[in-house]
Structure 1
């Protein structure tokens, strides 16, 4: 059986299952901006990772960045993707919001 578990032991008695609390860690508090083009038919995008924001805040930040950069973008797996190579502009905008930002990759 794949869903079987130990509930009693002759040595220790009843076995109480301990709840597993998983606290999602978003990293070290540094927002990283990298350029990706693989799997996008040569078109480059800036991927912004390490943002410790909820879904609504992420959507608002993505909308603001797309508007300021004058390009499209999306939110995928908790990361923001902005079309084109706008790393320097995005870095300036995020640093103005008080975030610690690093440019990752080449």
Structure 2
């Protein structure tokens, strides 16, 4: 006897609502003409990837940062119109941004 059968026995008059399909759509960002600069630095001995040059709204920064962190499975933040991702993920970030319609430019080595 599974959980659904147990719930039907406890609440025989209950009619379950139909579940709506949740479609996973990519969030829409403001796409700019200038490329986003993708840098690599070390701070306190730890590698980080810095994204500069995005000129979207504050909410766009939050959603873009969140999606990058979830995509990569790492930590990060955004401060002063820069997105900081922990680790050296320049290639993956640039590929992800190009898929979403951004122009990117690699800065540094």
1:30 to 16, 28, 35: 35
Distance in 2 between the 1:36 and 1:54 partners? 25
List, as ranges, runs of 4+ consecutive aligned residues in structure 1 with deviation greater than 3 Å: none
Which structure 1 residue ranges, 5 or more long, are not aligned?
1-27
RMSD (Å), alpha carbons? 1.4
2:84 to 67, 81, 84: 81
The alignment status of 1:100 with 2:103, answered yes or no, reads: yes
Cross-structure match for 1:72: 75
Distance in 1 between the 2:80 and 2:108 partners? 20
Which structure 2 residue ranges, 5 or more long, are not aligned?
1-32
Contact 2:55-2:81 at 8 Å conserved across structures: no
Any idea what SS the aligned residue of 1:64 has? helix
Cross-structure match for 1:15: none
Offset at residue 59 of structure 1 (A): 0.4
Matched positions, count: 78
Any idea what SS the aligned residue of 1:51 has? coil
Distance in 2 between the 1:67 and 1:32 partners? 20
What's the TM-score once normalised by structure 2's chain length?
0.68
Distance in 2 between the 1:68 and 1:42 partners? 24
Distance in 2 between the 1:95 and 1:76 partners? 22
